[in-house]
Amino acid sequence: MSSTLRFLMCPPTYYEVDYVINPWMEGNIHKSSQERAQVQWQQLYDILQARATVSLIEPQRGWPDMVFTANAGLVLGDRVVLSRFYHPERQGEEPYFKAWFTSEGYQVFELPKQVPFEGAGDALLDREGRWLWAGYGFRSELDSHAYLAKWLDIEVLSLRLMDERFYHLDTCFCPLTDGYLLYYPPAFDAYSNRLIELRVPAAKRIVVQEADAVNFACNAVNIEHTVILNRASQDLKNALAAAGFEVVETPLTEFLKAGGASKCLTLRVTEPVRAELRAPATLPSRVIHLEGHLLDSGLVNRVLDTIVESGGSFQVLQFNLGEQRQSPSQADVRVMAPDAAVMDEIMAQLIDLGAILPPSEVCDATLETVTLAGVAPDDFYVTTIYPTEVRVNCQWVRVQNQRMDGAIVVRSTPEGTVAECRLLRDLEVGDRVVVGVEGIRTVRKADSQRNSQEFTFMGSGVSSERRVELVVEQIAWELRRIRDQGGKVVVVAGPVVIHTGGGEHLAKLIREGYVQGLLGGNAIAVHDMEQAMMGTSLGVDMQRGVPVRGGHRHHLKVINTIRRCGSIAEAVRQGILTSGVMYECVQRNIPFVLAGSIRDDGPLPDTLMDLIQAQREYSRLVQGANMILMLSSMLHSIGVGNMTPAGVKLVCVDINPAVVTKLADRGSVESIGVVTDVGLFLSLMVQQLDRLNRPYTVA
């Protein structure tokens, strides 16, 4: 039958599995039967021939995958965008396909050399011609989509492939007549699935199960109401029948060994243009600038990974590697995204990593007014721990009170523009808040990435037991230095400090002037005072390590005693509390803040049960700290971490590695994790400080 519908095929004369460029080829080198391949190819040819015109391109020795003509290029009307194969193994096919299209009178478009695109294997027209579905992630680059949109003048919907078994779009996705779609959703990321669902109504989506997907059921040729494929389960046939499609199965096992089936073996070269549907704007793209120790700090990797993981792609426009160890590098990177929402998402993350949007593109940050107290405008910029600047009237303004998870409020004062971090609940009607991602940059000080000398050799790592002593030496050194320079160390401590016998050591650190503030909950204070007043911690005798009869009531008796006094300080004044952590704080005038929780007994009169007030007091005490020692208290430590800007040294000690990782992993080098028993840690610390304080002797 002759028809206006025409396909291009290539006889499998030189077909072979000769190399491995997809998972299907693995273990199949030279395992396909040439004879059977011939027969299977012929059967497919006959089926198509009965329904359409089939043209042939001459096969070429040495280019075994040339049978897969789907990868020749992408045709729309009289135009073709030629493939730029990702793998060198197939690049030699390009000139043959180009010659064929040229001789057939197509207008040929060729992508730049560095932009891979694998033709109709990765680009499938909606059968109604309304738009082009284009895949990326393995073979084709996202950048190619912008060219397709421009040259073919069609809307391109970019779909990101996630499963290497389905490395071409046509292995897991097949648009059908009447707006139906046959596809395997797990092959795509969540965003792409959403995009598919927005364009194809549920009733038109025919979802394929994995068992069919791996038989290449989606790699089908659709001609009107016929679907030609390798193999389909009864369920899938039923589903297709229900949608009005007849399934024609034709075995293609020999080609599956190279990762292709019926659709791959064919290229539809008649694709009508729907002139009334013109392409909208091209894909969003923008250039970012990076500066700093890009390689040493791993920043380039993180930036490029972030772009790809969020569904975008990039092109490095220039990279100037700093010549010496201390000289910073610079790079310009073009970022492409499938749409504006993904672009914004990527930009927000890149800004947090320290990327700069060139000022030519951006002048001012966008501000929106708060209309409901305590509620930010949608799309407000969420702050990080890093020093941040916003652009107002084309000038960069440093944000004050830097902390995590706030909004940025900008206001003009007689002294000039002021920008500050503000918690959501503190926003007032009329405040101007930064929204979006324009005109914001985070600043990484070069020395926060390297040479903060003594402290960095553990750089943001989590130590193992045998390194604990080394870390303690470092921290002891640092504690002594901060004390001598009149600096500020804040301790965040959980009750485990007392249970593990660390109380006396912490008390000593306070007594000797190494601690300038203490943060914790009700429990640390209760157990510390229980130990001081009754010799037990949660009823356990701290000398002998055994539970004391009636000991479980001890902590309540302590609470009761302190409540009678009215405050911890008053208990000290009355001579009721005479030792321990809380006693030393009172004696030395070291401010402490106890934040309450739902499980608190009592609570102590000093415990703040209003959490907003407690957060406020915590953050006041954290201000200006040079170092924060987090001792076995996950909750209070996380709270403190959120209100602490980058640049403050954080030491997180916990016996649970998961807690340490969580706390130490804030992407800033100044944080250090120590996995160990906190009582042991404190005892080593005190010993080490004593050693530092001994008279100098020549060893």
Name the residues annotated as catalytic. 168, 264
**65 counts as binding ligand ARG under rule CB under 6 A:** yes
Nearest approach in angstroms of CB 19 to ligand ARG is 9
- Of 167 and 314, the one with the shorter C-beta distance to ligand ARG is 167
Q: Which residues does 393 contact at the CB level (< 8 Å), separation at least 6?
A: 364, 417
According to CB under 6 A, which one of 68, 106, 133, 245 is a site residue for ligand ARG? Answer: 68
The stretch near ligand ARG (CB under 6 A) out of 62-70, 240-248, 402-410, 503-511 is: 62-70
- Of 165 and 616, the one with the shorter C-beta distance to ligand ARG is 165
Name the phi and psi angles at 600, rounded to 5.
Answer: -70, 135
According to CB under 6 A, which one of 121, 387, 502, 551 is a site residue for ligand ARG? Answer: 121
**22 counts as binding ligand ARG under rule CB under 6 A:** yes
- Of 140 and 402, the one with the shorter C-beta distance to ligand ARG is 140
According to CB under 6 A, which one of 8, 70, 228, 529 is a site residue for ligand ARG? Answer: 70
**84 counts as binding ligand ARG under rule CB under 6 A:** no
The stretch near ligand ARG (CB under 6 A) out of 2-10, 67-75, 141-149, 424-432 is: 67-75
Please count the other Cβ atoms lying within 10 Å of the Cβ belonging to residue 364: 15
Nearest approach in angstroms of CB 167 to ligand ARG is 7
CB half-sphere exposure, 221, CA atoms < 13 A: 32
The stretch near ligand ARG (CB under 6 A) out of 2-10, 164-172, 338-346, 384-392 is: 164-172
The burial of 155, by beta-carbon neighbours within 10 Å (0-12 exposed, 13-18 middle, 19 or more buried), is given as: middle
The stretch near ligand ARG (CB under 6 A) out of 166-174, 354-362, 363-371, 501-509 is: 166-174
3-state SS string for 55-112: EECCCCCCCHHHHCHHHCEEEECCEEEECECCCHHHHCCHHHHHHHHHHCCCEEECCC
Name the phi and psi angles at 157, rounded to 5.
Answer: -105, 115
Radius of gyration of the chain (CA): 34
Which tokens go with 484? 């001598």
| Residue closest to ligand ARG (Cβ) | 121
- Of 79 and 168, the one with the shorter C-beta distance to ligand ARG is 168
Nearest approach in angstroms of CB 619 to ligand ARG is 57
- Of 118 and 528, the one with the shorter C-beta distance to ligand ARG is 118
**8 counts as binding ligand ARG under rule CB under 6 A:** no
- Of 263 and 403, the one with the shorter C-beta distance to ligand ARG is 263
According to CB under 6 A, which one of 74, 115, 232, 258 is a site residue for ligand ARG? Answer: 258
DSSP string, 582-628: HHHHHHHT--EEEE--TT-SS--TTEE--HHHHHHHHHHHHTT-SEE
**71 counts as binding ligand ARG under rule CB under 6 A:** yes
The stretch near ligand ARG (CB under 6 A) out of 221-229, 253-261, 491-499, 551-559 is: 253-261
Nearest approach in angstroms of CB 403 to ligand ARG is 50
**259 counts as binding ligand ARG under rule CB under 6 A:** yes
Nearest approach in angstroms of CB 267 to ligand ARG is 9
CA-CA distances (angstroms) from residue 140 to 120, 160, 260, 291? 11, 10, 16, 29
Nearest approach in angstroms of CB 247 to ligand ARG is 20
The stretch near ligand ARG (CB under 6 A) out of 72-80, 93-101, 236-244, 252-260 is: 252-260
- Of 28 and 587, the one with the shorter C-beta distance to ligand ARG is 28
Nearest approach in angstroms of CB 374 to ligand ARG is 54
**170 counts as binding ligand ARG under rule CB under 6 A:** yes
Nearest approach in angstroms of CB 212 to ligand ARG is 16
Interface with ligand ARG in residues 23-42 (CB under 6 A): 25
Do 184 and 280 meet the contact criterion of CB atoms below 8 Å apart? no
Interface with ligand ARG in residues 488-527 (CB under 6 A): none
Per residue in 625-651, is it b (16+ CB within 10 Å) or e — as a string?
bbbbbbbbbbebbebbbbbbbbbbbbb
**264 counts as binding ligand ARG under rule CB under 6 A:** yes
**172 counts as binding ligand ARG under rule CB under 6 A:** no
Q: Let me know how many helices (H) and strands (E) the chain has, helices first.
A: 22, 35
Please count the other Cβ atoms lying within 10 Å of the Cβ belonging to residue 1: 8
The burial of 275, by beta-carbon neighbours within 10 Å (0-12 exposed, 13-18 middle, 19 or more buried), is given as: exposed
- Of 22 and 384, the one with the shorter C-beta distance to ligand ARG is 22
**260 counts as binding ligand ARG under rule CB under 6 A:** yes
Do 650 and 666 meet the contact criterion of CB atoms below 8 Å apart? yes
Do 240 and 182 meet the contact criterion of CB atoms below 8 Å apart? yes
d(CA 48, CA 46): 5
**220 counts as binding ligand ARG under rule CB under 6 A:** no
According to CB under 6 A, which one of 6, 145, 160, 168 is a site residue for ligand ARG? Answer: 168
Which tokens go with 152? 């073919």
Q: Tokens 């303004």 identify what position?
A: 397
Nearest approach in angstroms of CB 133 to ligand ARG is 14
Is the omega angle on the peptide bond into residue 603 within 30 degrees of 0, that is, cis? yes
- Of 165 and 274, the one with the shorter C-beta distance to ligand ARG is 165
Which tokens go with 457? 């050799």
According to CB under 6 A, which one of 32, 83, 140, 171 is a site residue for ligand ARG? Answer: 171
**21 counts as binding ligand ARG under rule CB under 6 A:** yes
Q: Which of 99, 36, 35, 39 is nearest to 66 (CA)?
A: 99
E-assigned strands of 111-254? 123-125, 132-136, 156-160, 173-175, 181-183, 205-207, 221-223, 226-229, 246-249
The stretch near ligand ARG (CB under 6 A) out of 163-171, 287-295, 369-377, 678-686 is: 163-171
Size of the site for ligand ARG (CB under 6 A): 16
- Of 120 and 562, the one with the shorter C-beta distance to ligand ARG is 120
Q: Tokens 């089908």 identify what position?
A: 220
CA-CA distances (angstroms) from residue 80 to 5, 106, 697? 16, 6, 83
Q: Which residues bind ligand ARG (CB under 6 A)?
A: 21-22, 25, 65, 68, 70-71, 90, 121, 168, 170-171, 258-260, 264
